[in-house]
Amino acid sequence: MTFAKAKILLIGAALLGLGACDKLGLPTGNSSSAAAAYNDGAAQKLDAYVEAHNKLMDTFGFEEKAESYRKSDISHASINSSFDVDAGWIDQGLKKLKIARAMSGGSSDLDAAADTLISSMGKVQTHLASLQTYYESKKYLDDKLARGKAEDGQMLAELDAAERDFGAFGALLDVALDKRDEALLEKLKGSDNLLAYNSKLAMIHAKKLVNLFNGPDDVKKPELFAKGDAEVAIIEKAITDVHSEATKAGKSDPIGVTTLTSMIGTYRSLKQGHDVTDLKTMVTQYNLAVETTNTLSGID
């Protein structure tokens, strides 16, 4: 089977209520931006970017609709083929991205990447929406798929451009979030909120675990599993500490954190059988943990 590791969702700052209102004052972006203390508005903008990124990745988002179009394989299709061509909810992710971009503060590098993505993603959304009418109305039966084939090269090029821009935007966003996570961990470590600290610690190292493996060859490398075992040890200790703190406070364990236990089980299956399918399941389970965390915290 062809391997295509799914992108991971990103965690907003509102984990367990520790959001923009916490006045973290964290730096993001280029060196000039890093010299400045970030205010509430900039923190909220970063979370808004996270929300837009995740919406474009989510159900009926860009990732799903791009894959569906490519699988339709228009260049080799006939009028008797099945077509899955539509714009889905890309417009919703695009709208969130534009709203985030219009907010004040933040990194100039990230804003520039957002501008580029808004342009390329806008072309994809407009073109897919136009083709959606063509395919849903089966107009291709009238012209023998002539329009579909004529526009296929352009559509694929637009998808590729948006994919590159989405990746570049996501990479910059990830760096900004990593910086914030590091500062947030230090802040939590010095506080009495050990439940929040260990929850955040577990999520951060779960991300590191998933990111160790990026292709079918990686699932056969012992050195990566040695690193993975070290990450699992940190995650499991953090989960144990979360449970202990939650019990003391008379609370239930955070659902997002408990989901990581299943992800660790899948990791051990991956280590045993080296099946790429298990890696894909790990990504799905991690994304579920993030989605649950963001939703309960008010990010989604």
- Predicted local confidence at residue 193, as pLDDT: 87
Alpha carbons within 13 A on the beta-carbon side of 297: 26
The helix/strand count (H/E) of the chain reads as: 11, 0
Final residue in a domain of this structure, among 150, 168, 191: 191
Final residue in a domain of this structure, among 191, 220, 253: 191
**Same domain for 123 and 246?**
no
**Predicted confidence (pLDDT) at residue 49 exceeds the cutoff of 50:** yes
Per the structure, the complete domain to which residue 60 belongs is given by 1-191
| Residue 99, domain CATH | 1.20.120
**Same domain for 187 and 217?**
no
**Predicted confidence (pLDDT) at residue 55 exceeds the cutoff of 60:** yes
**Same domain for 143 and 226?**
no
pLDDT in tens, 72-107: 999 999 999 999 999 999 999 999 999 999 999 888
**Same domain for 173 and 215?**
no
Top pLDDT among 252 and 23 is at: 252
**Same domain for 137 and 266?**
no
**Same domain for 15 and 147?**
yes
Question: Under a CB-based contact definition with an 8 Å cutoff, are residues 158 and 92 in contact?
Answer: no
**Same domain for 37 and 85?**
yes
Question: Under a CB-based contact definition with an 8 Å cutoff, are residues 204 and 238 in contact?
Answer: no
- Predicted local confidence at residue 13, as pLDDT: 53
**How far is residue 292's CA from residue 121's CA, in Å, rounded to a whole number?**
26
For residue 274, which of 208, 228, 206 has the smallest C-alpha distance? 228
- Predicted local confidence at residue 202, as pLDDT: 94
Q: What total of structural domains would you count in the chain? A: 2
**Predicted confidence (pLDDT) at residue 29 exceeds the cutoff of 50:** no
Instruction: Output the pTM of the full model.
Output: 0.78
- Predicted local confidence at residue 8, as pLDDT: 65
**Same domain for 158 and 210?**
no
Lowest mean pLDDT among 117-126, 178-187, 209-218, 278-287: 178-187
Confidence of residue 59 (pLDDT cuts 50, 70, 90): confident
**How far is residue 187's CA from residue 54's CA, in Å, rounded to a whole number?**
26
**Same domain for 114 and 150?**
yes
Average pLDDT over residues 116-132: 98
**Predicted confidence (pLDDT) at residue 38 exceeds the cutoff of 50:** no
**Same domain for 116 and 185?**
yes
**Same domain for 180 and 201?**
no
Final residue in a domain of this structure, among 191, 212, 246: 191
**Predicted confidence (pLDDT) at residue 127 exceeds the cutoff of 60:** yes
In the chain, what percentage of residues exceed pLDDT 70? 85
**Same domain for 281 and 297?**
yes
